[in-house]
Amino acid sequence: MSRAGVQKTLDVSIRQKGFLAASGEKLEVLNNVVFRLEPGEVGAIVGPSGCGKTTLLRIIAGLDADYDGDVMRPAGGKLGFVFQEPRLLPWRSVFDNVRLAAPAASAHEIDGLFALLGLSEHRGHYPGELSGGLARRVSLARAFAAAPDLLVLDEPFVSLDAALAAHLRSELAALVARKPVTTLLVTHDVDEAVALADRIFLLSPRPARIVGEVSIEAPRGARNDGVVKEARVKIARVLE
C-alpha cells in the first residue's frame, strides 16, 4: 500500500480477527476493517460497546499479532497509547511514570504537559494517591511526552464528569493543534468524536466492520453546535 519512500500514513486492513472463547467456541470480532489515516489526521472510531474497538487498537499497536490482514504504521513507529485503564506503575511517582515512558522528553517539557493537564501539584505523588480522573490525565501526559508518530486513545474520557471530560477534550485538541500527530481515538460518544476528529469511522456491532465514514470539515477550534448537529444528522443517515 505504501508509496515510494517512507511510510507516512497509517494503513489498516484487517480482513478477519477472532478469539477462541474458553468454551472452545470461535468468536468473530473484526471483519474487514479497512481505513487509512493521513499524517496529522485525527480519526475517531465510534461503535457500540463490545464491538471490538479495543481489539482493533491492540492490533494496530502491535500487541496482538494473531489476525488476518496488514497494518502499516507511520515510519518511526513511536507510539503513544492511552489504554482504557490508566496502566501506571504504582511504585513510581507521577513524574517518573511519564519520564520512564518518554526518556527523550526533558523535565521541562514534562512539567509543561503537567501544567496543561492540571497535574503540577501531583508530580511527586504515587498513582495510588490519585483519583481516577487524575490517573487518566497522567496516562494522557505519558502518551504526549513520548512524542509519538502515532497516538492511540481508547475511550480516554469515559466515566469522567461532563465538565472535566469537556476540559480534557479541549486540552487534547490543543495538544494535537500544538504538534500535529496522526491520532486514532476510540469513543462511543458521538459529541466527543465530532469535537476532536477530522474523520469519524462508524463500526457495526460485533463482528465489527466499518459501516460508514463521516468527515468533519470545520476546523477543530470552530466546531459550534451547528457543526455538531450537522454531523449528527450525517451520522444518523449513515447508520440507517
Ligand X SMILES: Nc1ncnc2c1ncn2[C@@H]1O[C@H](COP(=O)(O)OP(=O)(O)OP(=O)(O)O)[C@@H](O)[C@H]1O
Exactly one of 7, 13, 16, 54 binds Mg ion (CB under 5 A); that residue is 54
Decide if residue 29 touches ligand X (CB under 6 A). yes
Q: Which stretch binds ligand X (CB under 6 A): 19-27, 90-98, 110-118, 212-220?
A: 19-27
User: Residues 199-238: x/- map of binding to ligand X (CB under 6 A)?
Assistant: -------x--------------------------------
Nearest alpha-carbon partner for 12 in 39, 31, 37: 37
Which residues 151-210 are close enough to bind ligand X by CB under 6 A? 188, 206
Helix spans in 102-211 (H): 107-117, 132-145, 162-178, 190-196
Q: Which three cell numbers stand for residue 60?
A: 494496530
Q: In the beta sheet, which residues pair with residue 27? A: 19
Nearer to Mg ion (CB atom), residue 13 or residue 54: 54
In the bound state with another protein, the residue whose beta carbon lies nearer, of 79 and 235, is: 79
In angstroms, give the least distance from the CB of 27 to Mg ion.
15
Q: Which stretch binds ligand X (CB under 6 A): 52-60, 97-105, 167-175, 223-231?
A: 52-60
| Radius of gyration (C-alpha) of the chain in whole angstroms | 18
Q: Point out which span in 50-58, 96-104, 128-136, 177-185 binds Mg ion (CB under 5 A).
A: 50-58
- Between residues 56 and 101, which has the closer beta carbon with respect to another protein? 101
The single-letter code of the amino acid at 57 is L
Q: What is the DSSP letter of 156?
A: T
Name which of 59 and 176 has its Cβ closer to ligand X: 59
Which residues, in sequence order, are bridge partners of residue 203? 210
Q: Taking the alpha carbons of 138, 157, 55, 50 in that order, is the dihedral positive or negative?
A: positive
**In this structure, what DSSP letter does residue 221 have?**
G
Joined grid coordinates for residue 73: 504504521
Among 42, 46, 51, 110, binds ligand X (CB under 6 A): 51
Cβ–Cβ contacts within 10 Å for residue 14, how many?
Answer: 24
- Residue numbers at the binding site for another protein (CB under 8 A): 61-63, 78-79, 81, 83, 85, 87, 89-92, 96, 100-103, 126, 128-129, 142, 146
Kindly report whether the peptide bond that precedes residue 207 is cis, defined as omega within 30 degrees of 0.
yes
Q: Which is nearer to another protein, 43 or 80 (CB)?
A: 80
Nearest partner of 217 among 202, 230, 204, judged by Cα: 230
Residue type, 148: P
- Which part of the chain contacts Mg ion (CB under 5 A), choosing from 47-55, 119-127, 158-166, 168-176? 47-55
- Residue numbers at the binding site for ligand X (CB under 6 A): 19, 21, 27, 29, 49-55, 84, 188, 206
